[in-house]
Structure 1
């Protein structure tokens, strides 16, 4: 994932030489956005929708793979340390008990998905709707792969794992993919009025 031929949106919109300070601010801001997105529920069918997976994929895409993955990892560390940053906390537990619980695999998937969508953005995949959708699909598939594998291991594969951890969320995820495919290329068109990127 070291072939970053295209600048990220974050670098294009917030240029500067104080990269460490900028990256720290972006990571902390991104972790706070993840926190908020985990708590906000949007009425939807068949289950209420949070925007957390959307924010994870957008952070990876906008920040790039290194900073994106680091930001999501920071969010996980905040939760593991006992801050009630995850969906359903503190009601469903906090800290490491939550991280290793049934939904812990999705959290790991968040980090991997942010890295992969960030790497694809580094190849310019976030500049056209078609490739943006493929990138978001890849990230979403990784989240589900890690999440379902862990969920099945924890609760047992004799349980309705797909009905609990996949099918109720597919419609909402399709909407998020369409939203990302509209927002990212449009943002690049607006940013393209500034310095050209190579």
Structure 2
């Protein structure tokens, strides 16, 4: 059975749809997306056992709202800025930045960010962003794509005899479930708002 990927994504539902104005809109969306990713990475909300950052929420929401191509351009632009030493990652100001930071313990998660952004874009293109249930499923897939390379990299970097799951997964589960619930509502609600505005 062929997968259909003909649905519009959220950013295609407003503004220019062709020509130079479309290119201008896309450039502006990339800039706004990179800024949103950088700001979200720095937001820390107190939670137990660890503070919750909004980085994954921004990554997955940008992927769903932008679609696979524009989302990929945005997340790669974000990674390039980080590699160049700009303070755009969650802890990159703590004495380590750029490539050195990216090759540290969070390196696998950053790879996962790219995979998850693309996957959410593809699923949005298939219409999964129109309902909260499908969006929640897409978010679960996106989170898995972030954690798998993240944990594999931690194990490779520090050794599999270390408590890798306790370092890189279990402290973040509650926060990620909360972010999943929020993101599962944001994009479908935006689609409903657009539908009402046009109605």
Could you tell me the TM-score, scaled by structure 1's length? 0.94
Report deviation, 1:14: 3.0
Report deviation, 1:4: 3.0
User: CA separation in 1, counterparts of 2:165 and 2:15?
Assistant: 41
SS at match of 2:75: helix
Q: Which residue is equivalent to 1:188?
A: 191
Report deviation, 1:92: 4.4
Unaligned runs of 5+ in 1: none
Do the aligned residues in 2 keep the contact of 1:8 with 1:61 (CA within 8 Å)?
Answer: yes
Give the alignment of 1:50-69 within 5 angstroms: 50-69=53-72
SS at match of 1:23: helix
Give the alignment of 1:4-153 within 5 angstroms: 4-17=5-18, 18-153=21-156
Report deviation, 1:95: 0.8
Report deviation, 1:194: 5.1
The Cα offsets for residues 98-130 of structure 1, whole Å up to 9 and x where unpaired, read as 111111110111011000011000010011111
Q: CA RMSD in A?
A: 1.5
Report deviation, 1:195: 5.7
Moved more, 14-23 or 67-76: 14-23
The Cα offsets for residues 130-175 of structure 1, whole Å up to 9 and x where unpaired, read as 1011000000000001111111111111111100100000000100
Do the aligned residues in 2 keep the contact of 1:5 with 1:123 (CA within 8 Å)?
Answer: yes
Greater fraction helix? 2
Report deviation, 1:187: 1.4
The Cα offsets for residues 28-85 of structure 1, whole Å up to 9 and x where unpaired, read as 1111111111111011121100000000000000000111111111111001001111
Could you tell me the TM-score, scaled by structure 2's length? 0.93
Q: Which residue is equivalent to 1:170?
A: 173
Unaligned runs of 5+ in 2: none
- How many residue pairs end up in the alignment? 195
User: CA separation in 2, counterparts of 1:92 and 1:59?
Assistant: 28
User: CA separation in 1, counterparts of 2:95 and 2:156?
Assistant: 19
